[in-house]
Amino acid sequence: MPSTKSHTPQIISRQRVADHGEVFTAEREVKAMCDLVKNETERIESRFLEPACGQGAFLIEILRRKLAVVSSRYAATQSEWERHAAIAVSSLYGIDILADNVTLCRNHLYDTFLTAYRALFPKSMKPSCCRAVRYLLAINILWGDALTLQTPDESARPIVFAEWSDIGGGRFKRRDFTLANLLQSQPMEGPNLFSDLGDAAFIPTPVAEYPLVHFLKLGADEEL
């Protein structure tokens, strides 16, 4: 699991290594791994899942790169910067078996967003935009076991991820999928809308769909 800073020790405790295999990766190595997929890390909408996200270093580096692209394209218009920054945040997903890592990962990603936001619009930052980003991170960075695809407690609830789609005009569409369904979707054979090459296309089934909502209203009815 990656760490957030190069001076973070490789392990927090031997017990965590023994119980969960938790070993942190140096910042230099995180950057090198991201460089291997550089083009994708710089696509605002490109989705990334880190199944053992730790404190978030891998996702943080990707978000920094995405936000750099957002700022290079949309810094002149605050509303457009906010919308595309939200798209960038919504494209990142993480799972960790340790609850403290989940909290730290969410906080570090939020701080990364906040730093970029404040650098451009220090006097006009919207509380609603900050709340929306916190909400996206609360939904996308989850406590769970990537091996069992469930929460690591007695309830053993399935891990559920939200797919966020920007429909235009600042409106987001949310559909929820279980991780198990995403990984075990059945192929639909023959020509279809998802594949024009005649090969198998995998079509997961959502477990929930939500009405369109403006991204600035995300989390408005939630306690974060």
Please give the mean pLDDT across all residues of the chain.
86
Confidence grade of residue 11 (pLDDT, cut at 50, 70, 90): low
**Structure tokens of 132?**
């929306």
Question: Rounded to an integer, what distance in angstroms lies between the CA atom of residue 82 and that of residue 124?
Answer: 11
Q: In whole angstroms, how far apart are CA 90 and each of 59, 140, 150, 186, 217?
A: 12, 7, 21, 26, 14
- Note the pLDDT tens digit of each residue in 137-148: 999 999 999 889
Give the type of residue at 149.
L
- The whole-number pLDDT of residue 5 equals 41
Q: Is the pLDDT of residue 3 over 70?
A: no
- What percent of the chain clears pLDDT 90, i.e. is strictly above it? 67
Question: Rounded to an integer, what distance in angstroms lies between the CA atom of residue 15 and that of residue 64?
Answer: 32
Q: What angle do CA 91, 174, 97 make, to 5 degrees?
A: 55
**pTM to 2 decimal places:** 0.83
Instruction: State the CB neighbour count (10 A cutoff) for residue 8.
Output: 17
- The whole-number pLDDT of residue 9 equals 60
Q: In whole angstroms, how far apart are CA 51 and each of 48, 75, 146, 167?
A: 10, 32, 6, 27
- The whole-number pLDDT of residue 193 equals 43
- The whole-number pLDDT of residue 86 equals 98
